């Protein structure tokens, strides 16, 4: 495996994590996962009427695909709800990985960072490997690491907005401030170029859902994102040139025809 990313001691060759919601059909979901080459998919827990089998059918599909699952606590509004959801997820999905979401505001689905830190601490103490969905705030990031998180997942823009990077400065600052912590951009990306950009900044991975599932051709978009992430990562490792304000000829001037010595 060349250039793997390591998340909680698990080495992965793909730097794309894919959400499983809002695809046109289960078949397109499965094909998109395969086309993306991702090794981790996010899943959730929801109420279901007794006797219904939608949850079981979905879980069977995910197990067939063979990806590692990262359950989320999507929709939770308090640390208490998130903790109970994480505990249920650990039992149902048989994993101690949890994508921790504590939502604080409905229009932006912005994390309640106070509840997030509280829940992250409780879950880390209970043996969970927490992937916190957070903002790009440096102080919150520090507190999440203090709480026991060893991966951070800052947003680029509100969930499902497809806006791309809202604050490139903040994301660059976060990257610079935590050079050793795996950082995954989670939420807000819409186009493959957005993913390439954050990978060029040095982000370790990207978590996507709506950008793929609501594309006209989700399978093709899954592949496009995979290529963009790979390209962005290679671009980062290759160390891009420093931008300049003035032009600089790329073709040597020495020996230029029609040149007249003064």
Partner 1 sequence: MSATTLQMLLDELGYDEKTVGTALNQEFVRAKDRAETRLREGDAVEIVTPRQGG
Is 81 a binding residue for partner 1 by CB under 8 A? The answer is: yes
Please report, as residue ranges, which positions from 5 to 34 form the binding site for partner 1 (by CB under 8 A): 19-23, 29
C-alpha 14/C-alpha 39 separation (Å) is: 6
Please report, as residue ranges, which positions from 192 to 221 form the binding site for partner 1 (by CB under 8 A): 209-210
Q: Is 224 in contact with 59 (CB distance < 8 Å)? A: no
Is 88 a binding residue for partner 1 by CB under 8 A? The answer is: yes
DSSP string, 79-97: HHHHHHHHHHHHHHHT-SE
C-alpha 109/C-alpha 2 separation (Å) is: 36
Is 119 a binding residue for partner 1 by CB under 8 A? The answer is: no
CB of 18 to partner 1, least distance (A): 9
Q: Is 229 in contact with 206 (CB distance < 8 Å)? A: yes
Kindly calculate the radius of gyration of the chain based on its CA atoms and give it in whole angstroms. 21
Is 97 a binding residue for partner 1 by CB under 8 A? The answer is: no
What DSSP character marks residue 205? E
Is 44 a binding residue for partner 1 by CB under 8 A? The answer is: yes
Q: Is 184 in contact with 17 (CB distance < 8 Å)? A: yes
Tell me, yes or no, if 99 is annotated catalytic. Answer: yes
The residue from 5, 33, 67, 74 that contacts partner 1 (CB under 8 A) is 74
* Pick 32 or 143: Cβ nearer partner 1: 32
| Residues with catalytic roles | 99
Q: What are the residues binding partner 1 (CB under 8 A)?
A: 19-23, 29, 42-48, 50-51, 54-56, 58-59, 62, 71-72, 74, 80-81, 83-85, 87-89, 91-93, 159-160, 209-210
């Amino acid at each position: 495996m060349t250039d793997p990313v390591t998340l909680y001691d698990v080495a992965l060759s793909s730097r794309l994590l894919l959400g499983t919601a809002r695809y046109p059909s289960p078949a397109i979901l499965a094909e998109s996962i395969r086309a993306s080459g991702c090794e981790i998919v996010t899943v959730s827990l929801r109420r279901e009427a007794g006797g219904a089998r939608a949850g079981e059918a979905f879980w069977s599909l995910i197990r067939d695909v063979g990806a590692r699952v990262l359950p989320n606590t999507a929709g939770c509004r308090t640390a208490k709800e998130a903790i109970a959801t994480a505990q249920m997820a650990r039992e149902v999905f048989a994993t101690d990985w949890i994508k921790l979401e504590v939502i604080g505001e409905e229009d932006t689905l912005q994390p309640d960072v106070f509840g997030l830190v509280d829940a992250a601490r409780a879950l880390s103490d209970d043996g969970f490997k927490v992937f916190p969905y957070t903002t790009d705030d440096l102080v919150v990031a520090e507190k999440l690491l203090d709480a026991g998180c060893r991966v951070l997942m800052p947003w680029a823009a509100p969930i499902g907005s497809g806006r791309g990077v809202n604050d490139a400065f903040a994301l660059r600052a976060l990257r610079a401030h935590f050079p050793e912590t795996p950082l995954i951009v989670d939420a807000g990306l819409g186009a493959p170029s957005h993913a390439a950009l954050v990978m060029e900044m040095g982000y370790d991975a990207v978590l996507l859902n709506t950008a793929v599932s609501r594309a006209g051709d989700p399978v093709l978009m899954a592949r496009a994102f995979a290529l963009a992430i790979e390209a962005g990562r290679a671009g980062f490792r290759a160390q891009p040139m420093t931008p300049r304000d003035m032009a600089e000829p790329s073709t040597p001037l020495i020996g230029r025809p029609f040149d007249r010595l003064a």
